[in-house]
Structure 1
Amino acid sequence: MVFGRSLTESRLISSANYVRTELPTRIAHRIRDMQRLPYAVVTNPHLRDVYELYYDAFDLFRRVREIKTLEDNERFCGELTKMLRAHLTVIPKLTIGMLECSDLMPADELDRFMSTLLRSRISRRVIAEQHLALTETFHADWFQPGTPLSESEFIGEIFLKCVAKDVIERCGHAVRDLARSANGPDVQIPEIKVEGHLEATFPYILGHLEYIIGELLRNSVQAVIDHHRQHDKADTPPPPVEVTICEAQKHVIIRISDRGGGIPRDMLPYLWSFAKGSKVRSQRLENLVQVPLMAATLQELRVDGNFTGLQDGKPGSAASSASSLSPLSSRPPNLRLGMGLPLSRVYAEYWAGSLELHSLEGYGVDAFLQISKLGNKNEQLATRAAMDAV
């Protein structure tokens, strides 16, 4: 946001050099993490592919010379775009590899490794995509160098006035369409009711918020449908999914409540785990094989391919760039990957927020998403020393 508030050629080049020096450093830490894995784990073909992607990216970016001109920046942005596209295979390959190696390492170590890699992946994509978005803004016909972007709705990928109610309603519409596609036209779909502080706004990257809200709503809507169907209540409409927005001075809390029967007790230990236990491992592997690319955005849940994020077409956004906010991957509507909750928590915590679930077995679930409202929090890898761990 600092680079973009009053964007000039020198600031754009400064942003490019920040990305140029930061990416290889962060990638190097993750390569070292993979080198520390047991030999039997790191030689898994899927994890080996991820390792090679990371090493190729590190080798590429460490050779990039200092960026001094707009032409240098254009070439650099081309390399960034290629890297973003190539790394869309990382999440499925990483998850498949972890599942296949789940007997070779303790589950808590695997989860810690996955969370670290995914949090670092978010950081690198945010850095790269923000620079691509600022470059696109700088070259847009409407832009005048030095114009304060803080008066517009976007600074690069960052939506300055993200209205919680609008995002929830947009995600809710997409999720209900998805549920109708997955369950058939005759199934009653629960309403999604939004109440509370409906005017609450905060700065955020829309694709991340849409993914978290989309996964939570998807889980709640499907749980209500299944619970309602099991109890033969065809003559009555299913209970609604209730979303409450609470705005405090420093944060916004979004509570999503459903009456979908709650989470089975035997699943609670695996709720935030990427491993999920041996019972569902084979099914998850079969499902993940069908998802060769994954950007981890709500757009992957689209039914007809026409769903686009709220930011599309707005000045200053990077809707047309090859970013993780674009619908670059496909996923059948009824395909459950079992990683929505842990990945959503990684997103939430990266932006200094939190995600918690409270389940009443036999009744329903309350999910609480806390979002930092002020927009002045550092990413949760703030210092160079902390990067050893994150």
Structure 2
Amino acid sequence: MASEPVARAVAEEVARWGAMRQTGVSLRYMMEFGARPTERTLLLAAQFLHKELPIRIARRALDLESLPFGLSSKPAILKVRDWYVDSFRDIRSFREVRSQEDELAFTQMIKMIRVRHTNVVPTIALGVQQLKKDLGGSKAFPPGIDEIHQFLDRFYLSRIGIRMLIGQHVALHDPDPEPGVIGLINTKMSPMTVARIASEDARAICMREYGSAPDVDIYGDPDFTFPYVTPHLHLMIFELVKNSLRAVQERYMNSDKHAPPVRIIVADGAEDVTIKISDEGGGIPRSGLSRIFTYLYSTAENPPDLDEHNEGVTMAGYGYGIPISRLYARYFGGDLQIISMEGYGTDAYLHLSRLGDSEEPLP
């Protein structure tokens, strides 16, 4: 019983911090601030995070407690909530950051927090999958299910922000950064190179799953670069190409026709860098298009059961690769659009803002 007052005190503090205003940062600000990290700038950054992270983490912990359809009481969701409360407590109990020694200790602590939260996405997906089973599959969702979708959008977008802030701060301590790389930001990222590597990764998975994979053709200027977070772009292109490969592979698997390639076009505009991923995989019916951005829908017939041990990336099935890719695009002011021609194929347009000036969208 002794833990109850403690729990109540923590709950009250979480509620108090969750009501505070978040402060957004832009890609450009992160680049300018981290361009030449000195003891002083790292100290200032740590002081900012010491105030900012508990606000963002508290908001998510509160969000997890008020979900409809009993989702909040699912074991997987409770587990995630405990991670957030633990992390909130860790940061709040950390002394004020005043010296270089404090700053290094603080950096170690937030590094641990990032590790603790590694499996948040699959764990929440597990909770949602448990809910789907309770609701009897995904054929007809009850009214109010939109609220869960909006919560997941908010939650995952906020998680991208928290991981970006922690990852950027930790990466600025790298004693030997690659030239042109500031923390997690590559100031001279080549979208062509990222597209090539992400496509190879997606083809390897398709090969493993089906024994063969369609080709991927990439068009664009190989010398063009712009500042962006390479792993974010890799994740988005990987997800989109993976879906295209699966659609083409399944459409041509038992056909004597040669499977047409997936095409990637990288266009460099004044405001946006746009990456178009086109396939001839048969497209998605118009009635299904709106559903590809919800977390409660997957085109795979029998999604794999998510369990604690399923760490491997499978070809399909959890239904959150596409919605999460759109959040990554939106995080730095871009977007993801999907246009389909049923009976022919699908085009995905990934718009990335190249100005880097848009503030984080803070849910």
Q: CA distance change for structure 1 residues 343 and 291 in 2, over 3 Å: closer, same or farther?
A: farther
Task: Summarize deviations over 1:320-377 as a string: whole Å, max 9, x none.
Answer: xxxxxxxxxx314445322110110111111110001111111100000000112222
Please give the per-residue CA displacement for 1:217-246, whole angstroms capped at 9, x wherever unaligned: 11111111111114x12xx43111111111
User: Contact conserved, 1:287 with 1:335, CA < 8 A, in 2?
Assistant: no
For each residue in 1:7-55, what CA deviation from the matched residue of structure 2 results, as whole angstroms up to 9, or x when unmatched?
2111111111111111101111112222332483211111111111111
Give the SS at the match of 1:262.
coil
**2:313 and 2:57 mapped to 1: Cα distance?**
31
Residues 1:73 and 2:103 are matched in the alignment: yes
| Distance in 2 (alpha carbons) for counterparts of 1:164 and 1:97 | 35
Alignment of 1:132-151 (within 5 A): 132-136=170-174, 140=175
**Does the CA contact (< 8 Å) of 1:92 and 1:291 recur in 2?**
no
How does 1:308-387 map onto structure 2 within 5 Å?
A: 330-334=311-315, 336-381=317-362
Identity of aligned residues (%): 32
Q: Is the 8 A contact 1:263 1:361 kept in 2?
A: yes
- Structure of greater relative contact order (alpha carbons < 8 Å, 6+ residues apart): 1
Unaligned runs of 5+ in 2: 1-30, 136-141
Does residue 240 (structure 1) correspond to residue 258 (structure 2)? The answer is no
SS at match of 1:200: coil
Please give the TM-score of this superposition, normalised by the length of structure 1: 0.78
Cα pair distance change 1:93/1:65, threshold 3 Å: same
User: SS in structure 2 opposite 1:135?
Assistant: coil
Aligned equivalents of 1:91 and 1:209: distance in 2? 18
What SS class does the counterpart of residue 256 from structure 1 fall into? strand
Give the equivalent residue in structure 1 for 2:113: 83
Cross-structure match for 2:55? 25
Q: How does 1:196-207 map to 2 (within 5 A)?
A: 196-207=220-231
Residue 45 (structure 1) aligned with residue 75 (structure 2) = yes
Identify the residue that residue 289 of structure 1 maps to in structure 2. 307
Q: 2:245 aligns with which of 212, 216, 221?
A: 221
Q: Deviations over 1:200-233 (max 9, x none)?
A: 3221111111000000011111111111114x12
Matched residue type, 2:258:
P
- Answer yes or no: is the 8 Å Cα contact 2:157–2:327 preserved in 1: yes
Give the one of 163, 169, 180 matched to 2:207: 180
Q: 2:196 aligns with which of 169, 181, 188?
A: 169
1:195 aligns with 2:195: no
Query: For the residues of structure 1 that align with 2:261 and 2:96, how far apart are their CA atoms?
Result: 56
Distance 2:321 2:77 in 1: 20
1:306 match: none
Q: What is the TM-score normalised by the length of structure 2?
A: 0.84
In the alignment, the residues of structure 2 paired with residue 26 and residue 70 of structure 1 have an alpha-carbon distance, to the nearest angstrom, of 25
- Distance of 2:253 and 2:272 partners within structure 1: 37
Paired AA for residue 164 in structure 2: V
Residue 158 in structure 1 maps to residue 154 in structure 2: no
User: Structure 1 CA distance, aligned partners of 2:143 and 2:113?
Assistant: 30
Partner SS, residue 219 of structure 2:
strand
CA distance in structure 2 between the partners assigned to 1:42 and 1:109 by the alignment: 13
Q: Is the 8 A contact 1:107 1:275 kept in 2?
A: no
Opposite residue 251 of structure 1, the aligned amino acid is D
Tell me the secondary structure at the aligned position of residue 64 of structure 1. coil
Gaps of 5+ in 1: 144-148, 293-329, 382-389
Q: CA RMSD in A?
A: 2.2
